[in-house]
Structure 1
Amino acid sequence: MADDNGDNSGIEQRHIFINADIVAMTMTEKQPHWLPDISHRPGPRYRAIAAALQDDIGSGALPIGAKLPTHRDLAWRLGVTVGTVTRAYAEAERSGLIGGEVGRGTFVRDPRPTEAPVDNTGIIDLSVNALAQHPNEERLRQALLGLASRNDLSGLMHYPPVNGSARHRQAGAAWIAQTTGLTVDPALVLPTAGGQNAMHLALAAITRPGDSLLVEQLSYPAVKPLAGLLDLRLVPVAMDDGGLLPDALEQAARAHGAHALYCMPRLHNPTTVTQRPDRRQAVMAVCRQAGIRVVEDDVYGFLADDAGPPALVALDPERVLFLTSLSKNLMPGLRTGFLLCPPPLMDRVRTLLRATLLGVNPLGAELSAEFILSGAAMESAIQRRALVADRQAQARRLLPGAASDPACPHLWLPLPEPWRREDFARALLSRGVRVTPADAFAVARGDTPHAVRVCIGGVERVEVLEHGLRILADLLSEPAAMGESFV
């Protein structure tokens, strides 16, 4: 057997070179025939297998939808341990290359990045969680003209202070207050390069390589590559229709020695759930008892008509790092987010920001501050809420079985039997509509529901959205078509 740490000495390696056409034909058979040549790849064997997977998927030798060998079969044919193959598949799954389901096997996913929704390509893209009809173009033009006329414009071209200017921090505190009702000290608000940068800084501040990170059973997909970058092991925590289950959180923390949690308690992506006040209190009680620090993601919070239940950071400001962003409300290109940080962690977060970005782009931060402090950002939020409300009414009329908070820019659609999530997504794409199967949000195999996320905010024209939702509803209502997808 091969050493998982990468020692190639004494390894008897069997090589089978298979024509790519034969591979493509046999991928759906009961005994998939993919077998990589890893003899000349450096490093640990599991990484060599993962790298071979990536290369073969990129070259087309492993087509999208191809079924991979079982862990045991591939281990036997490569002469490595089953654990080595398990680690390799886990690496590839964390990178979004493959996905699997207990009882069915492991399959190649579509590795292409998601494109922005457009109406003239023949595909109605309901997979991107964006909001159409940006109302800020004229305001952006005026803001840019105002910025260009300032006497201190050259000052914005210097290296920015690592924690942003006082005006930028004030704007961040104002945005948090406007969207949560929470009054915070601007000195504890750090401007960031969007929500994902805030997420990176927060997780890096409260974890170390090799730590376990608790996450919701279904979570924002960006947490997976970020965990890989930080060398964290993701631990899923069971959910119900009220969000995280406190008992499951306590058990997971104890079993894995975890002291960090990433979660989205308001307008959750993908399930749309907003946690009730009593559930939030119970979750934070577990976190206090178990010594868990929390990263609270509130990027969709501005869509709620009121502040709603108290944010987790309001319940325990010394334990929670709170992040938000302007990308969904204003313009993603501004790349402006904010991280509210407990005082003991502020120095570490500043150090991480200095080491990675040096500082946030002051031009974007200044434009964002102008939008917030002038009231334009909140005016935009009110317009966004109206857009989402209209789209939700449209969707509920056509898809009454979809689960959604009326303020949420997406739907969570559990699928009827015998549909399986990836089969449904492929069948729907063949009819010209793209959605996201639940696999994209799962952090562990075997506990993924058969459901899809349907984004209703990104398509510019309501008649195009109407057409796409009707196609989706028609597919759900056709039992014969469902049967054909499993042949």
Structure 2
Amino acid sequence: MTMTGKQPAWLPDISQRPGPRYRAIAAALQDDIGSGSLPIGAKLPTHRDLAWRLGVTVGTVTRAYAEAERSGLIGGEVGRGTFVRDPRPAEAPTGDDSGVIDLSVNALTQRPNEERLRQALMQLADRGDLSGLMHYPPVNGSARHRQAGAAWIEQTTGMVADPALILPTAGGQNAMHLALAAITRPGDSLLVERLSYPAVKPLAGLLDLRLVPVAMDGEGLVPDALDQAARTHGAHALYCMPRLHNPTTVTQSAPRRQALLEVCRRAGILVVEDDVYGFLAPRTDPAPLAALDPERVLFLTSLSKNLMPGLRTGFLLCPPPLMDRVRSLLRATLLGVNPLGAELAAEFILSGAALDCAGQRRALVAERQAQARRLLRGGASDPACPHLWLPLPEPWRREDFARALLGRGVRVTPADAFAVARGDTPHAVRVCIGGVERTDLLEQGLRIVAGLLAEPAAMGESFV
């Protein structure tokens, strides 16, 4: 690296790297970020500057940066430049023993479920047919597992689902993969909310899909913007989170859902509806999109947030015409879902333990939301949501705020992790309040966040 003023100017050696030069640049970026040579938050050279110093075209650098951005390694903002992102997945456990208060992982404390798990495992061990769970699983899952999926969907949404149209999956992300692969082909455009669950980006890369961001407002997706994006890009698939949206916490109203489905019917759009946080929402919430148009919507849910992520159990409700394709995809990728985990999940659901746990989770989130509102005045996050969406006052910038906060011992997730496209990313951070076991630590972390917001003079040299 060479030095330009105070900032190191990144200059990779791509002479020995095989393949197209844009891939060589992207691979060098990945290696240098992984090794720490390019630290999180580092500003990268402009496209034109790096192209001149490497002796390549500007288009080659643009393509390399785009590939790295699609992988979640870097992100840019119009007028400010391109920066290295934290490569750690936003939803992954950190295992951080450094004393940092981690408010970046959207999970719920596991302590209430430890005894439930112990009892369920003992009951399962005492069964006479335990060895039957160790055979190759049926690709559809057992009738009991499908029945459990239908019960969970009805318990959390009020929607009555046919068990024959439900597939057990290895968690919500496996359900996302199956659903999106079923309704798209390589090279297709996929419509998504402008700010979306971060896992959709690497999944789109795996399926060779082009993500098309759709504008949002205080009720979520904007119908006119969805219609325009579908027409412009010829898109026929949509992934969205209508309830307790991650990260904005927004829940779509009933009229908004009807308006969005009208657009989807006119444009021939199939919808993947993600409802992994639905168990926290009031039963008075509007009906799911899948209940309003079951022939058009694939509905997915999971037990990871309510019970425990390690179960890796979710459910996918499919329209009948898509069932054969989804089964084929499941058979080709997993053969079938782990029957031991699926049986544990079925026992939790059919015994009523999962629903009981959901009630405790709602109470936990309500208490922590009240704690957050007391310490962070002016927030507009949904009180049923396990995370906060915190817009930052001027002149804060999201990367600087997250970096300064980490320096004070608190980790949050800046909006870049959720942004689907370059530019127009709000200066905001997501603050997760459910995963910290001790309420005193959560209190300490939220006070640090509030204190930093009240200290504009501490915003750092990027504002000089």
TM-score (norm 1): 0.92
Aligned to 1:374: 351
Q: 1:57 aligned to 2:33?
A: yes
Aligned to 1:447: 424
Retained in 2: the 8 A contact 1:117–1:126?
no
Q: CA–CA distance in 2 between the matches of 1:143 and 1:50?
A: 47
Q: 1:471 aligned to 2:448?
A: yes
Aligned to 1:41: 17
Retained in 2: the 8 A contact 1:414–1:452?
yes
Q: Which has the higher contact order (CA 8 A, sep 6+)?
A: 2
Q: CA–CA distance in 1 between the matches of 2:357 and 2:304?
A: 12
Q: CA–CA distance in 1 between the matches of 2:412 and 2:65?
A: 25
Structure 1 position 296, deviation (Å): 0.2
Q: 1:253 aligned to 2:206?
A: no
Structure 1 position 281, deviation (Å): 0.5
Q: 1:98 aligned to 2:78?
A: no
Aligned length: 463
Q: 1:66 aligns with which of 42, 57, 60?
A: 42
Q: CA–CA distance in 2 between the matches of 1:377 and 1:27?
A: 58
Q: CA–CA distance in 2 between the matches of 1:119 and 1:196?
A: 24
Retained in 1: the 8 A contact 2:149–2:163?
yes
Q: 2:330 aligns with which of 353, 356, 365?
A: 353
Aligned to 2:240: 263
* 1:397 to 1:277, Cα distance in 2 relative to 1, 3 A: same
Q: CA–CA distance in 2 between the matches of 1:279 and 1:474?
A: 37
Cα-to-partner distance string for 1:206-245 (whole Å, 9 max, x where unaligned): 0111111000000000000000001111000000111000
Retained in 1: the 8 A contact 2:157–2:278?
yes
Structure 1 position 258, deviation (Å): 0.6
Aligned to 1:14: none
Cα-to-partner distance string for 1:363-392 (whole Å, 9 max, x where unaligned): 000000000000000000000000000000
SS of equivalent residue, structure 2 residue 75: strand
Q: CA–CA distance in 2 between the matches of 1:138 and 1:255?
A: 53
Q: CA–CA distance in 2 between the matches of 1:209 and 1:372?
A: 37
Q: CA–CA distance in 1 between the matches of 2:43 and 2:377?
A: 34
Q: 1:129 aligned to 2:106?
A: yes
Q: 2:268 aligns with which of 277, 291, 305?
A: 291
Aligned to 1:82: 58
Q: CA–CA distance in 1 between the matches of 2:364 and 2:98?
A: 23
Alignment map for 1:72-471 (pairs within 5 Å): 72-112=48-88, 116=93, 121-471=98-448
Aligned to 2:458: 481
SS of equivalent residue, structure 2 residue 9: coil
Q: CA–CA distance in 2 between the matches of 1:480 and 1:253?
A: 45
Retained in 1: the 8 A contact 2:186–2:209?
yes
Retained in 2: the 8 A contact 1:294–1:320?
yes
Q: CA–CA distance in 1 between the matches of 2:459 and 2:336?
A: 52
Retained in 2: the 8 A contact 1:118–1:124?
no
Q: CA–CA distance in 2 between the matches of 1:212 and 1:118?
A: 36
Gapped regions of structure 1 (runs ≥ 5): 1-17
Q: CA–CA distance in 2 between the matches of 1:308 and 1:269?
A: 17
Retained in 2: the 8 A contact 1:118–1:125?
no
SS of equivalent residue, structure 1 residue 266: coil
> CA RMSD for the aligned pairs?
1.6
Retained in 1: the 8 A contact 2:146–2:164?
yes
Amino acid at match of 2:247: P
Q: CA–CA distance in 2 between the matches of 1:427 and 1:91?
A: 28
SS of equivalent residue, structure 1 residue 135: helix
Structure 1 position 252, deviation (Å): 0.6
Gapped regions of structure 2 (runs ≥ 5): none
Identity of aligned residues (%): 86
Cα-to-partner distance string for 1:29-87 (whole Å, 9 max, x where unaligned): 4xx63222223322222211101111122233323222111112222333333222112
Shifted more, 112-121 versus 437-446: the winner is: 112-121
Q: CA–CA distance in 1 between the matches of 2:67 and 2:461?
A: 33
Structure 1 position 142, deviation (Å): 1.5
Retained in 2: the 8 A contact 1:427–1:485?
no
Structure 1 position 484, deviation (Å): 5.0
SS of equivalent residue, structure 2 residue 72: coil
Shifted more, 140-149 versus 309-318: the winner is: 140-149
Retained in 2: the 8 A contact 1:179–1:307?
no
Amino acid at match of 2:116: R
Amino acid at match of 2:237: A
Shifted more, 38-47 versus 471-480: the winner is: 38-47
Shifted more, 50-59 versus 337-346: the winner is: 50-59
Retained in 2: the 8 A contact 1:116–1:125?
no
* 1:213 to 1:420, Cα distance in 2 relative to 1, 3 A: same
Amino acid at match of 1:111: P
Amino acid at match of 2:258: Q
Q: CA–CA distance in 1 between the matches of 2:89 and 2:197?
A: 16
Shifted more, 47-56 versus 70-79: the winner is: 70-79
Structure 1 position 27, deviation (Å): 8.2
SS of equivalent residue, structure 1 residue 364: helix
TM-score (norm 2): 0.97
